[in-house]
Structure 1
Amino acid sequence: MSSRSLSRSAARLAAVQALYQQEMEGTATPALLHEFHHHRLGATIEEATYADAEVAFFDDVVTGALARRDEIDAKIEGKLADGWSLARLDKPMKAVLRAGAYELLARPDVPTPTVISEYLDVADAFYDKREKGFVNGLLDALAKDVRPA
Protein backbone atom coordinates (compact mmCIF):
# COMPACT_ATOMS: atom_id res chain seq x y z
CA MET A 1 0.00 0.00 0.00
CA SER A 2 1.39 3.42 -0.90
CA SER A 3 2.09 6.01 1.78
CA ARG A 4 -0.76 8.11 0.35
CA SER A 5 -3.13 5.15 0.70
CA LEU A 6 -1.97 4.60 4.28
CA SER A 7 -2.34 8.29 5.14
CA ARG A 8 -5.84 8.35 3.65
CA SER A 9 -6.78 5.19 5.57
CA ALA A 10 -5.56 6.85 8.76
CA ALA A 11 -7.53 9.99 7.87
CA ARG A 12 -10.71 7.96 7.35
CA LEU A 13 -10.40 6.19 10.70
CA ALA A 14 -9.73 9.53 12.44
CA ALA A 15 -12.67 11.13 10.60
CA VAL A 16 -15.01 8.41 11.86
CA GLN A 17 -13.68 8.92 15.39
CA ALA A 18 -14.18 12.69 15.06
CA LEU A 19 -17.75 12.29 13.76
CA TYR A 20 -18.50 9.92 16.64
CA GLN A 21 -17.03 12.36 19.17
CA GLN A 22 -18.99 15.24 17.65
CA GLU A 23 -22.25 13.31 18.01
CA MET A 24 -21.44 12.30 21.59
CA GLU A 25 -20.29 15.72 22.82
CA GLY A 26 -21.67 18.23 20.32
CA THR A 27 -18.18 19.66 19.81
CA ALA A 28 -18.13 22.59 17.38
CA THR A 29 -16.37 21.74 14.11
CA PRO A 30 -13.40 24.14 14.53
CA ALA A 31 -12.69 22.83 18.05
CA LEU A 32 -13.05 19.24 16.86
CA LEU A 33 -10.58 19.76 14.00
CA HIS A 34 -8.16 21.56 16.31
CA GLU A 35 -8.21 18.72 18.83
CA PHE A 36 -7.60 16.08 16.18
CA HIS A 37 -4.86 18.10 14.47
CA HIS A 38 -3.00 18.60 17.73
CA HIS A 39 -3.69 15.44 19.71
CA ARG A 40 -4.91 12.58 17.55
CA LEU A 41 -3.65 12.51 13.98
CA GLY A 42 -0.52 10.37 13.61
CA ALA A 43 -0.61 9.49 17.31
CA THR A 44 1.58 6.75 18.72
CA ILE A 45 -0.03 4.29 21.09
CA GLU A 46 2.33 2.09 23.07
CA GLU A 47 4.64 0.44 20.54
CA ALA A 48 2.46 0.84 17.45
CA THR A 49 2.89 3.91 15.30
CA TYR A 50 -0.01 4.71 13.04
CA ALA A 51 0.46 6.27 9.65
CA ASP A 52 0.25 10.03 9.63
CA ALA A 53 -3.20 10.97 8.43
CA GLU A 54 -3.63 13.14 5.36
CA VAL A 55 -4.86 16.22 7.20
CA ALA A 56 -6.60 17.96 4.27
CA PHE A 57 -8.49 14.76 3.45
CA PHE A 58 -9.46 14.29 7.13
CA ASP A 59 -10.68 17.91 7.28
CA ASP A 60 -12.73 17.49 4.10
CA VAL A 61 -14.46 14.31 5.26
CA VAL A 62 -15.24 15.69 8.73
CA THR A 63 -16.38 19.16 7.69
CA GLY A 64 -18.24 17.86 4.64
CA ALA A 65 -20.05 15.09 6.53
CA LEU A 66 -21.08 17.54 9.26
CA ALA A 67 -22.14 20.29 6.84
CA ARG A 68 -24.23 17.86 4.78
CA ARG A 69 -25.42 15.68 7.68
CA ASP A 70 -29.17 16.15 7.00
CA GLU A 71 -28.75 15.24 3.31
CA ILE A 72 -26.47 12.30 4.15
CA ASP A 73 -28.78 11.02 6.90
CA ALA A 74 -31.76 11.14 4.52
CA LYS A 75 -29.83 9.12 1.93
CA ILE A 76 -28.75 6.54 4.54
CA GLU A 77 -32.26 6.32 5.98
CA GLY A 78 -33.61 5.73 2.47
CA LYS A 79 -31.46 2.59 2.21
CA LEU A 80 -32.41 1.09 5.58
CA ALA A 81 -34.83 -1.83 5.71
CA ASP A 82 -38.49 -1.15 6.44
CA GLY A 83 -39.01 -0.48 10.12
CA TRP A 84 -35.43 0.72 10.61
CA SER A 85 -34.40 4.30 11.22
CA LEU A 86 -31.10 6.04 11.71
CA ALA A 87 -31.98 6.40 15.40
CA ARG A 88 -31.78 2.60 15.78
CA LEU A 89 -28.15 2.52 14.66
CA ASP A 90 -25.43 2.97 17.26
CA LYS A 91 -23.26 6.07 17.08
CA PRO A 92 -20.09 4.41 15.73
CA MET A 93 -22.12 2.85 12.90
CA LYS A 94 -23.68 6.21 12.05
CA ALA A 95 -20.19 7.77 11.95
CA VAL A 96 -18.88 5.07 9.59
CA LEU A 97 -21.89 5.39 7.27
CA ARG A 98 -21.87 9.19 7.29
CA ALA A 99 -18.19 9.38 6.39
CA GLY A 100 -18.56 6.75 3.65
CA ALA A 101 -21.70 8.40 2.28
CA TYR A 102 -19.97 11.78 2.22
CA GLU A 103 -17.10 10.37 0.15
CA LEU A 104 -19.53 8.74 -2.27
CA LEU A 105 -21.43 12.02 -2.66
CA ALA A 106 -18.62 14.55 -2.69
CA ARG A 107 -15.35 12.86 -3.63
CA PRO A 108 -15.67 11.64 -7.23
CA ASP A 109 -11.84 11.54 -7.30
CA VAL A 110 -12.03 8.44 -5.05
CA PRO A 111 -13.26 5.32 -6.89
CA THR A 112 -16.41 3.69 -5.50
CA PRO A 113 -14.71 0.33 -4.74
CA THR A 114 -12.01 2.19 -2.80
CA VAL A 115 -14.57 4.08 -0.69
CA ILE A 116 -16.48 0.91 0.16
CA SER A 117 -13.35 -1.15 0.86
CA GLU A 118 -11.84 1.55 3.06
CA TYR A 119 -14.97 1.92 5.21
CA LEU A 120 -15.21 -1.85 5.53
CA ASP A 121 -11.69 -1.69 6.99
CA VAL A 122 -12.77 1.09 9.35
CA ALA A 123 -15.86 -0.92 10.37
CA ASP A 124 -13.54 -3.84 11.08
CA ALA A 125 -11.94 -1.76 13.84
CA PHE A 126 -15.30 -1.54 15.64
CA TYR A 127 -17.43 -4.47 14.55
CA ASP A 128 -17.76 -8.13 13.66
CA LYS A 129 -18.53 -9.68 10.28
CA ARG A 130 -22.29 -9.12 10.44
CA GLU A 131 -21.97 -5.36 10.87
CA LYS A 132 -19.33 -5.18 8.14
CA GLY A 133 -21.83 -6.85 5.81
CA PHE A 134 -24.36 -4.17 6.74
CA VAL A 135 -21.87 -1.38 5.94
CA ASN A 136 -21.01 -3.05 2.63
CA GLY A 137 -24.64 -3.46 1.60
CA LEU A 138 -25.68 0.04 2.57
CA LEU A 139 -22.74 1.85 0.97
CA ASP A 140 -23.08 -0.29 -2.17
CA ALA A 141 -26.81 0.56 -2.45
CA LEU A 142 -26.06 4.23 -1.87
CA ALA A 143 -23.29 4.20 -4.49
CA LYS A 144 -25.71 2.81 -7.09
CA ASP A 145 -27.92 5.88 -6.50
CA VAL A 146 -25.35 8.64 -6.23
CA ARG A 147 -22.78 7.27 -8.67
CA PRO A 148 -24.70 5.58 -11.47
CA ALA A 149 -22.40 3.72 -13.86
Structure 2
Amino acid sequence: MSDETEDKGPKPLSGNQKRKMRSAARLYAVQALFQMEAAGQSSTRVKREFLDHRFGAVYEGDEMQEGDPDLFARIVDDAVNHQARIDQMTDRALVAKWPIDRIDPTLRALFRAAGAELVEGDAPPKVVIVEFVDIAGAFFPEGKEPKFVNAVLDHMAREAKPEAF
Protein backbone atom coordinates (compact mmCIF):
# COMPACT_ATOMS: atom_id res chain seq x y z
CA MET A 1 0.00 0.00 0.00
CA SER A 2 1.43 3.38 -0.93
CA ASP A 3 1.63 6.34 1.40
CA GLU A 4 -0.99 8.15 -0.67
CA THR A 5 -3.70 5.54 -0.11
CA GLU A 6 -3.12 4.90 3.59
CA ASP A 7 -5.83 5.99 6.00
CA LYS A 8 -4.58 9.08 7.77
CA GLY A 9 -7.17 8.87 10.55
CA PRO A 10 -10.30 10.92 11.02
CA LYS A 11 -10.66 14.13 9.08
CA PRO A 12 -10.34 17.33 11.07
CA LEU A 13 -13.67 18.75 12.15
CA SER A 14 -15.05 21.83 10.44
CA GLY A 15 -15.91 24.93 12.46
CA ASN A 16 -19.59 24.11 12.11
CA GLN A 17 -19.06 20.54 13.36
CA LYS A 18 -17.10 21.81 16.37
CA ARG A 19 -19.86 24.33 17.17
CA LYS A 20 -22.53 21.60 16.99
CA MET A 21 -20.47 19.39 19.29
CA ARG A 22 -20.10 22.22 21.82
CA SER A 23 -23.83 22.93 21.65
CA ALA A 24 -24.60 19.24 22.20
CA ALA A 25 -22.18 19.12 25.15
CA ARG A 26 -24.01 22.04 26.76
CA LEU A 27 -27.39 20.35 26.27
CA TYR A 28 -26.06 17.08 27.69
CA ALA A 29 -24.58 18.96 30.66
CA VAL A 30 -28.01 20.41 31.49
CA GLN A 31 -29.56 16.94 31.23
CA ALA A 32 -26.80 15.42 33.37
CA LEU A 33 -27.15 18.06 36.09
CA PHE A 34 -30.91 17.55 36.08
CA GLN A 35 -30.45 13.78 36.37
CA MET A 36 -27.93 14.15 39.20
CA GLU A 37 -30.39 16.22 41.22
CA ALA A 38 -33.51 14.20 40.38
CA ALA A 39 -31.95 10.77 40.97
CA GLY A 40 -29.39 11.73 43.60
CA GLN A 41 -26.57 10.37 41.45
CA SER A 42 -22.91 11.37 41.58
CA SER A 43 -21.33 13.44 38.84
CA THR A 44 -18.85 10.63 38.12
CA ARG A 45 -21.64 8.12 37.51
CA VAL A 46 -23.75 10.46 35.39
CA LYS A 47 -20.79 11.67 33.29
CA ARG A 48 -19.80 8.06 32.57
CA GLU A 49 -23.38 7.18 31.56
CA PHE A 50 -23.60 10.12 29.18
CA LEU A 51 -20.19 9.54 27.64
CA ASP A 52 -20.74 5.79 27.23
CA HIS A 53 -24.41 5.65 26.29
CA ARG A 54 -25.72 8.99 25.05
CA PHE A 55 -23.08 10.74 22.96
CA GLY A 56 -23.81 9.55 19.41
CA ALA A 57 -26.22 6.82 20.55
CA VAL A 58 -29.11 5.73 18.35
CA TYR A 59 -32.60 5.69 19.91
CA GLU A 60 -35.57 4.48 17.88
CA GLY A 61 -33.66 5.15 14.67
CA ASP A 62 -32.62 8.68 15.66
CA GLU A 63 -28.93 9.29 16.20
CA MET A 64 -28.04 11.56 19.10
CA GLN A 65 -25.58 14.32 18.36
CA GLU A 66 -21.94 13.70 19.22
CA GLY A 67 -20.88 16.11 21.92
CA ASP A 68 -17.55 17.59 22.93
CA PRO A 69 -16.67 15.25 25.84
CA ASP A 70 -14.12 17.63 27.36
CA LEU A 71 -16.52 20.59 27.43
CA PHE A 72 -19.31 18.37 28.80
CA ALA A 73 -17.13 17.06 31.65
CA ARG A 74 -15.75 20.52 32.42
CA ILE A 75 -19.24 22.08 32.64
CA VAL A 76 -20.55 19.30 34.91
CA ASP A 77 -17.47 19.39 37.13
CA ASP A 78 -17.43 23.19 37.36
CA ALA A 79 -21.18 23.28 38.08
CA VAL A 80 -20.66 20.86 40.96
CA ASN A 81 -17.47 22.46 42.28
CA HIS A 82 -18.83 26.02 42.12
CA GLN A 83 -22.51 25.28 42.80
CA ALA A 84 -22.78 27.53 45.86
CA ARG A 85 -21.34 30.53 44.00
CA ILE A 86 -23.44 29.84 40.89
CA ASP A 87 -26.63 29.42 42.94
CA GLN A 88 -25.93 32.69 44.76
CA MET A 89 -25.43 34.48 41.44
CA THR A 90 -28.67 32.96 40.17
CA ASP A 91 -30.53 33.99 43.34
CA ARG A 92 -29.36 37.58 42.89
CA ALA A 93 -30.60 37.53 39.30
CA LEU A 94 -34.04 36.16 40.24
CA VAL A 95 -36.95 38.07 41.68
CA ALA A 96 -36.61 38.21 45.46
CA LYS A 97 -39.63 35.97 46.09
CA TRP A 98 -38.35 33.27 43.73
CA PRO A 99 -35.15 31.76 45.12
CA ILE A 100 -33.41 29.14 42.99
CA ASP A 101 -34.83 26.25 45.01
CA ARG A 102 -38.37 27.28 43.94
CA ILE A 103 -37.76 27.33 40.20
CA ASP A 104 -38.27 24.49 37.74
CA PRO A 105 -35.52 21.83 38.15
CA THR A 106 -34.74 21.95 34.42
CA LEU A 107 -34.12 25.69 34.66
CA ARG A 108 -32.06 25.18 37.79
CA ALA A 109 -29.85 22.69 35.92
CA LEU A 110 -29.61 25.10 33.00
CA PHE A 111 -28.57 28.01 35.24
CA ARG A 112 -25.94 25.83 36.91
CA ALA A 113 -24.49 24.67 33.59
CA ALA A 114 -24.47 28.19 32.15
CA GLY A 115 -23.13 29.58 35.42
CA ALA A 116 -20.26 27.08 35.29
CA GLU A 117 -19.27 28.42 31.88
CA LEU A 118 -19.67 32.02 32.98
CA VAL A 119 -17.57 31.50 36.11
CA GLU A 120 -14.87 29.14 34.81
CA GLY A 121 -15.24 28.86 31.02
CA ASP A 122 -13.47 30.72 28.29
CA ALA A 123 -16.39 31.19 25.87
CA PRO A 124 -17.54 34.80 25.56
CA PRO A 125 -20.55 35.52 27.81
CA LYS A 126 -22.74 36.43 24.83
CA VAL A 127 -22.06 33.01 23.27
CA VAL A 128 -22.92 31.27 26.54
CA ILE A 129 -26.15 33.25 26.84
CA VAL A 130 -27.26 32.52 23.25
CA GLU A 131 -26.43 28.82 23.58
CA PHE A 132 -28.36 28.35 26.81
CA VAL A 133 -31.33 30.45 25.65
CA ASP A 134 -31.50 28.04 22.67
CA ILE A 135 -31.44 25.10 25.08
CA ALA A 136 -34.26 26.70 27.10
CA GLY A 137 -36.22 26.98 23.84
CA ALA A 138 -35.69 23.27 23.20
CA PHE A 139 -37.02 22.34 26.64
CA PHE A 140 -39.81 24.96 26.68
CA PRO A 141 -40.79 25.58 23.03
CA GLU A 142 -44.12 27.25 23.82
CA GLY A 143 -43.27 29.13 26.99
CA LYS A 144 -41.73 32.37 28.13
CA GLU A 145 -38.77 30.56 29.67
CA PRO A 146 -36.24 31.48 26.95
CA LYS A 147 -36.80 35.20 27.62
CA PHE A 148 -36.59 34.58 31.36
CA VAL A 149 -33.34 32.61 30.88
CA ASN A 150 -31.93 35.41 28.74
CA ALA A 151 -32.60 38.00 31.45
CA VAL A 152 -31.21 35.87 34.28
CA LEU A 153 -28.09 34.85 32.35
CA ASP A 154 -27.43 38.43 31.29
CA HIS A 155 -27.46 39.44 34.95
CA MET A 156 -25.25 36.51 35.91
CA ALA A 157 -22.78 37.24 33.09
CA ARG A 158 -22.45 40.87 34.13
CA GLU A 159 -21.62 39.72 37.66
CA ALA A 160 -19.24 36.92 36.62
CA LYS A 161 -17.40 38.78 33.85
CA PRO A 162 -18.07 42.52 34.08
CA GLU A 163 -15.05 43.23 31.90
CA ALA A 164 -16.84 41.60 28.94
CA PHE A 165 -19.57 44.29 28.94
Q: TM-score, normalised by structure 2?
A: 0.85
Question: How far is the alpha carbon of 1:44 from its aligned partner?
Answer: 2.2
Query: Which string of whole-angstrom CA distances, capped at 9 and with x for unpartnered residues, describes residues 76-130 of structure 1?
Result: 00111121111210110100111111111111x2111110110011111211341
Give the equivalent residue in structure 2 for 1:132. 146
Q: In structure 2, list runs of 5 or more residues that go unmatched.
A: 1-14
1:111 alignment partner, one of 97, 115, 124: 124
Give the equivalent residue in structure 2 for 1:31. 45
Q: In structure 1, list runs of 5 or more residues that go unmatched.
A: none
Question: How far is the alpha carbon of 1:32 from its aligned partner?
Answer: 1.2
Question: How far is the alpha carbon of 1:68 from its aligned partner?
Answer: 1.0
User: Counterparts of 1:7 and 1:34 in 2: how far apart (Å)?
Assistant: 17
Question: How far is the alpha carbon of 1:26 from its aligned partner?
Answer: 1.2
Letter in 2 for 1:123: A
Question: How far is the alpha carbon of 1:16 from its aligned partner?
Answer: 0.4
Q: Alignment length, in residue pairs?
A: 148
Structure 1 counterpart SS, 2:136: helix
Structure 2 counterpart SS, 1:57: helix
Rg larger in 1 or in 2?
A: 2
User: Counterparts of 2:65 and 2:29 in 1: how far apart (Å)?
Assistant: 14
Q: TM-score, normalised by structure 1?
A: 0.94
Aligned pairs for 1:70-81 (under 5 A) are: 70-81=84-95
Is the Cα contact below 8 Å between 2:89 and 2:159 reproduced in 1?
A: no
Letter in 1 for 2:94: L
Letter in 2 for 1:55: P
Compute the RMSD of aligned alpha carbons: 1.3
User: Counterparts of 1:144 and 1:71 in 2: how far apart (Å)?
Assistant: 14
